[in-house]
Every structure is written in structure tokens, then in C-alpha cells.
Amino acid sequence: MFRRLSTDTLNWIMIIGVILFILEIAFFHGGMIFSALFSGLLIYIGWKKFNHLWGKFFFWIGIIGAVLSVFNMLAVRFLIVAGIVLFIIDFSRTKKDPDRINPYILSPNDSTAEPVIRIDPMFKHRLFGDQKTTEHAYKWQDINIHGIYGDRVIDLSNTVLPNDTSVISIRHFVGNIEIYVPYEVEVSINHSSIFGRAHIFGKKHWNLMNQTLLYQTENYDTTYPRIKIVTSLVSGDIEVKRI
């Protein structure tokens, strides 16, 4: 269904949803938003201590509270109604004008399509849960991921970086990031955080409040291999160290 919607239609739906979200904060004293955030905190604490009984209790109470809070938000109700209306319109249209599949045979002289190879990324965009590189040797691929809850652990000692500039880009909501870099690799780090701490090659920042940190090793501009690390956290710690 969503494949047949124009980008403008989806943008208008998102804009209206954001406006309703802002109205709920401004005129309803946050409504269910603060309840949802509190439930999210319970989920995070419960997930980190899930091996304890009280951790399981916190986790499932947080899940139930988050579901109830989210489905009571004005913006979410609007999106649900909009989705139902779009489904009905799309279903009615397909009944009147069903999709037709016309085979297209690519001739040998047709050079409009450039041959490319699709590569599966090393990390998936997992919103919840921890992720880390494998403990055995793996082929390096640049990393570009985002998530909501969980920790991210990247160990570069089990791969061979190309003699070029590699990139790690992580945008995350709540959780910790750990990156282990071999000694022969030059590093550039651009880290931003709303709340958290940072430990970067022995440089410690214990109380980051809406700050951006920029570090790079001495020979980063002239020596290869090198890796550029760009991370963004709302709440969490980052550690970058040699291994």
C-alpha cells in the first residue's frame, strides 16, 4: 500500500502527526508522553538487568505501560486512523483498477541500467537490543546504523581495514557504545551526546550535557589506514580504546 503513496502524501501525514504531538505537549501538559518516557526507562533498566527477577518485572511493566501510553497519544491515534483510511482507499482502487504486470525484456543494447552488486550490511537497523561484531575474523564494511535501546560493541581487531578511510556512523537513543581499535590505525572521533560520559583513548569526560567532542590521532591526516567515527547519543556512554 505505502509503495503507491506519493512522498508528498506521506510527508503531510508525518507533519500533521508532529503538529498533534506538539499540541499534546503544549495544551495537555505532556499527555501520555511523559508516561511513555517513564515506561521506556523501566524497559531499559529491566533489559539491562533481565537476568534478575525484578529486572523481568520492570521490563514487562514498562512494555505494558509503553503500549498503553503510546496508543493513547493524539498523534498515534491520528496515524492509526490515517492508515485505516488509506488502506480502504487503496483497497477500493485496486478493485476498480487492479495492478497489471507487464514483462519487460532487457535488450543487449539497453545500457540504461548500470550493473551494481548489492552487499548485505554487517549490522542491521535493530531498534531494540544489543549488537556487537562477531568474535571471529570478518570482512570489513563501513557501518551506518541507528537504534533506540541497547548497547553497540564494535571490535576492529578481528578485521583488516582497507588502506583508506573507513567510516563508523552510529545514531542511538539510549545505550552505550564501545569501539576497540588496533594500535596501527589512525582515528578521528566526532561524538555528540545529550546526557552521558565519554572515555576516548584515556581522555575522560564524566558529565556530558548537550556537548560535542572532537578528537583525532596525531597522524590521522597523513597516514592510512584510518577510521572516521561519528556517533550521536541522547543518553549513554561511549568508550573508544586500543586493543
pLDDT at 199: 92
Residues 92 and 152 in one domain: no
- With beta carbons less than 8 A apart as the criterion, state whether 188 and 228 touch: yes
pLDDT (0 to 100) of residue 180: 93
Contact 179, 123 (CB under 8 A): no
Residue 118 in any domain: the answer is no
Q: Which of 23-37, 100-114, 147-161, 164-178 has the lowest mean pLDDT?
A: 100-114
pLDDT of residue 241: 92
How does the average pLDDT of the chain come out, rounded?
A: 81
**Are residues 235 and 135 part of one domain?**
yes
Q: Are residues 149 and 236 in the same domain?
A: yes
With a cut of 80, say whether residue 162 has pLDDT above it: yes
More confident residue, 9 or 223: 223
Q: C-alpha grid cell for residue 212?
A: 560535542
138 with 87, same domain: the answer is no
How much is the average pLDDT of 10-18?
Answer: 75
Identify the pLDDT of residue 111: 52
Measured at the CA of 14, the angle between CA 13 and CA 15, to 5 degrees, comes to 90
Identify whether 50 is part of a domain: yes
Q: How far is the C-alpha of 173 from the C-alpha of 146, rounded, in Å?
A: 8
The reported pLDDT for the residue numbered 107 is 57
Domain count of the chain? 2
Residues 161 and 232 in one domain: yes
Domain that holds residue 68: 2-96
Considering 19-23, 74-78, 102-106, 149-153, the range whose residues carry the highest mean pLDDT is 149-153
Give me the pLDDT at residue 29, please. Answer: 64
Residue 178 pLDDT:
93
Whether 150 contacts 170, CB under 8 Å: no
- 218 vs 8, residue with greater confidence: 218
| Residues 137, 39 share a domain | no
Question: In this predicted model, what pLDDT tens digit does every residue of 48-80 receive, in sequence order?
Answer: 888 888 888 888 998 898 888 888 887 788 888
Question: Of 158, 150, 156, nearest to 131 (Cα)?
Answer: 150
Evaluate whether residue 204 is within a structural domain: yes
| More confidently predicted of 15 and 176 | 176
- Domain identity same for 234 and 165: yes
**Would you state the pLDDT for residue 43?**
85
